A and B are shown apart, each in its own frame.
Chain A
């Protein structure tokens, strides 16, 4: 297993070229991907051309810390030279003529695209089972789900067939698969990473971010991904910052808030044990833990499953078979074309959320559902601000259980949605959140520790995670071959 940091050093030292590194990883992907289905598109020529460009930059002395480091991109980011299928039949033939903001920045940093990773259809799902391109298998246990929606990215990193990956997180889609696969992932403050070219699921919640083995790698990658983008009106115009700056900050005096609501019913014993042990480690490192309360966190999942589908139902209107993407082969008239195209082009989970979203925005229901959910959303954000008066970071479990079996929750969407109880409130509040490996639970599957910071406090979160990872080796464990 190699970290981004290590690869960066080897590239800088001339021990390996970007082309060699790319070839090495492509070979690993060839070997492992059939069992994992983490990648949905590979394009060796494209990858090697990017790698050659990176080597050329280095030869010219213009290499940055990430130049030549391979990365896998979630299939949700538009990227010239690649398809952007977003896990859907609807976009099977779609290739964007533009780069997403995150892709542009990755390119500018010299990162080399290994391929495009599998995901839940339109990022809707927590298991990667809703992908039109097949389920992804958890490298730790092939019959377990990798989590979702960035399941392909998480599985690829965990399996060591990509040192890092991009992901997106709307209700936990970076953190939850990171937890299930035993890797590190961060969802930044809403507005830090451009949403331009990132196919929208729920616009007010979606945020891109890095997934890798270590917090340090995530910090390096976030340096590349973050930045103001005039093409995204929700992008925040702030001075660039170095997310690695606090990696070595000592933890002495750090106040860690532990929300009592996150340790109640629904949390499995193995997760509780691992998280408790992690908190003890933080105390050993000099941090102080204080109990805090997020009294309205119980409403996060219901509010999320109103707001996200509402936005999604509108965002997905554009997939109508008129201009691009899938169109039903036979239809009687315009309305029949719309109905058949969307019935055939979307999968069950996407259709379910479109229906929910359409319902909650409908005349007569809007106030009771959408508006009410928005009020709850504000209260949840307020709760966090109250909690942050007493602490610097909030720690708890990323998920109530470790990864479950493929198919276990396929017929029970509600129980799948409830797996998001610790993550959705972070998106609703627009806060940064991350997940780091903190142990193993049932079946030897990884447990994730969630770290939530206040707005723009990514550097502090990454620092705390890094110190933890200096003292533990959960993040260095690799799945059995």
Chain B
């Protein structure tokens, strides 16, 4: 069995919770984590006679998304009822959009992989539609019963449906990450995956090259990128094995179990609901006037794709750097703020610092860049001192640590206080080199015998002896001179 003989087809459906203050069809608040049912009004509880009224703010976010992906914002879209019974679905139907969604088409450019193997790909979007979330069924803590919490019922969602354009779990994850970044970038969703604000369903099928599309299985509710990767990889492998063993894939909805790393069928096509969609008679068609779209367009931030292109064109950054810096709006803002202080000439070293040391440190402490203890201007000051030769890259890491832990207000203050200024005075370095050469005759001998490694060892010794303050370039130069003398 080999993956090589198989093509994988993946499409994603993403539920993105819109960050409105009130629900999509009622005035109840949407804040997460309140005591059960305190954020459920008569409308959310579906008491008799209550009616839905569209929340303008949710529509505005849908427009923003449509513009961000270059989709068509429908001037007229229709809300439909999706009928089914479940205890956490108070009306017995979900108000969604079916035949006429608010956004049609659009695309997302994703960057897949690292280094030389990285490539860009355009994933087409089918549609995005507005709908309401259901409540939650709580099966723990109630002996032999289920608890119903309707706080989430009526929370606005934008369901974003991609075309089946992805061919690997890596592409699916890259798409999900790009989408996640985008919805936060245009400020329509907080992207909090633990709280369920951004959750994906993946439709996965496999086929032999040249064959028609295989039967798909839908993996529901993937709420982390890692699980998404694992779930899709498992599912691909499982489907290939099934087919190679002579079985047919049955259309099904499956769940991923992070504990076992496996997917398992929740329901098959046979028990699929007939949702009896029909236009909701309580809600007139959603009409979005051209001037509304124009106003939203005028208020849109520069989009990541445009900013990425600008970073490459104006500052000579690589596609990799530009993609990394535009991974989130906060990251991009941080970079641009620092760049404004340090100047365009340092665009590349600054990019390395933001995506390297800073990102790693933030990651280790699970902090957002917006909450970075090292501010953009502090980092800019640091990069400026590397640029003018005041400190080496290695010393700069010390200065960064000091800034991180609040030991100084600026890089200059840290350098001053800790005496980290790079030594460039030849007369100060030469005696150190002489000392090192005298103490390491074996290395000197090896170098002369043609072993380059020995040279590096000597550089290291000199740097160590200078407590890192010597300029590595200068040490190189002087050492070579001495050895060749």
Contact = CB atoms under 8 A, between A and B. Distances in A.
A94 interface: yes
Contacts of B92: 314, 316-318, 320
Given A314-B92, A317-B83, A317-B85, A233 B48 contact: no
Given A94-B48, A196-B49, A322-B148, A338 B85 contact: yes
Interface string A307-323: 00011011011101011
A196 B48 contact: no
Interface in A212-270: 230-234
B477 interface: no
B355 interface: no
B49 A310 contact: no
Contacts of A338: 85
A202 to B, nearest CB: 8
A137 interface: no
A320 B282 contact: no
Nearest to A235: B51
Interface stretch (B218-226, B273-281, B292-300, B420-428): B273-281
A230 B284 CA distance: 13
Interface in A32-84: 77-78, 84
A234 B282 contact: yes
A370 interface: yes
A370 B278 contact: yes
B173 interface: no
A84 B93 contact: no
Contacts of A77: 49
Given A97-B42, A196-B49, A361-B278, A317 B87 contact: no
A84 B87 contact: no
A334 interface: yes
Contact of B51 (A97, A233, A311, A362): A233
Contacts of B49: 77-78, 84, 96, 100, 195-200
Most buried by B among A94, A230, A334: A334
B45 interface: yes
Interface in A185-222: 195-200, 202-204
B132 to A, nearest CB: 14
Contact of B50 (A86, A196, A202, A311): A196
B93 A314 contact: yes
Interface in B251-309: 274, 276-278, 281-284
B48 A86 contact: yes
Nearest to A94: B48
Interface in B349-381: none
Contacts of B385: none
A230 B53 contact: yes
B89 to A, nearest CB: 9
A203 to B, nearest CB: 4
A131 interface: no
A78 B53 contact: no
A324 interface: yes
A196 B51 contact: yes
Nearest to B82: A314
A16 interface: no
A91 interface: yes
Nearest to B81: A314
A363 interface: yes
Contacts of B48: 78, 84, 86, 91, 94, 96, 199-200, 318
A327 to B, nearest CB: 12
A79 B267 CA distance: 43
Interface residues of B, number: 28
A252 B150 CA distance: 60
Contacts of B284: 233-234
B91 interface: yes
A334 B277 CA distance: 23
B51 A231 contact: yes
Given A233-B51, A322-B148, A358 B46 contact: no
Nearest to B41: A98
Contacts of B51: 195-196, 231-233
A318 B91 CA distance: 4
Interface string B35-69: 00000001001111111111000000000000000
A233 B282 contact: yes
Interface in A14-32: none
A314 B280 CA distance: 10
A366 interface: yes
B281 A334 contact: no
Contacts, number: 101
Given A233-B282, A322-B87, A358 B276 contact: yes
Interface in B85-118: 85, 87, 90-93
Contact of B93 (A200, A317, A324, A370): A317
A26 B190 CA distance: 59
B426 to A, nearest CB: 81
A221 to B, nearest CB: 20
Contacts of A313: 83, 276
Contacts of A198: 49
A192 to B, nearest CB: 15
A362 B274 CA distance: 7
Interface string A96-108: 1110100000000
A359 to B, nearest CB: 10
Most buried by A among B47, B90, B91: B47
Most buried by B among A84, A232, A311, A314: A314
Contacts of B87: 320, 322, 334
A91 B52 CA distance: 21
A174 B281 CA distance: 21
B276 A362 contact: yes
Contacts of A202: 281
A235 to B, nearest CB: 9
A318 B90 contact: yes
Contacts of B278: 310, 314, 361, 366, 370
Most buried by A among B49, B53, B85: B49
Given A96-B48, A204-B281, A317-B91, A231 B276 contact: no
Interface in A334-369: 334, 338, 358, 361-363, 366
B44 to A, nearest CB: 10
Given A94-B48, A96-B49, A311 B276 contact: no
B317 to A, nearest CB: 49
A317 B148 CA distance: 17
B45 A323 contact: yes
Contacts of A195: 49, 51
Most buried by B among A199, A317, A320, A358: A317
Contacts of A320: 85, 87, 92
B76 to A, nearest CB: 15
A142 to B, nearest CB: 31
Most buried by B among A86, A195, A231, A362: A231
A317 B83 CA distance: 8
A198 B53 CA distance: 15
A122 to B, nearest CB: 9
Contacts of B52: 233
Interface of A: 77-78, 84, 86, 91, 94, 96-98, 100, 195-200, 202-204, 230-234, 310-311, 313-314, 316-318, 320, 322-324, 334, 338, 358, 361-363, 366, 370
23 contacts: A78-B49, A84-B49, A86-B48, A97-B47, A100-B49, A196-B49, A196-B50, A200-B49, A200-B282, A202-B281, A233-B51, A233-B53, A233-B283, A234-B282, A310-B278, A311-B281, A313-B276, A314-B92, A318-B90, A318-B92, A322-B87, A334-B87, A366-B277
Interface of B: 42, 45-54, 81, 83, 85, 87, 90-93, 148, 274, 276-278, 281-284
Given A310-B278, A361-B83, A361-B276, 8 more contacts: A91-B48, A96-B48, A199-B48, A200-B48, A233-B54, A314-B81, A320-B85, A323-B47
Nearest 4 A/B pairs, CB to CB: A317-B92, A204-B281, A361-B276, A203-B281
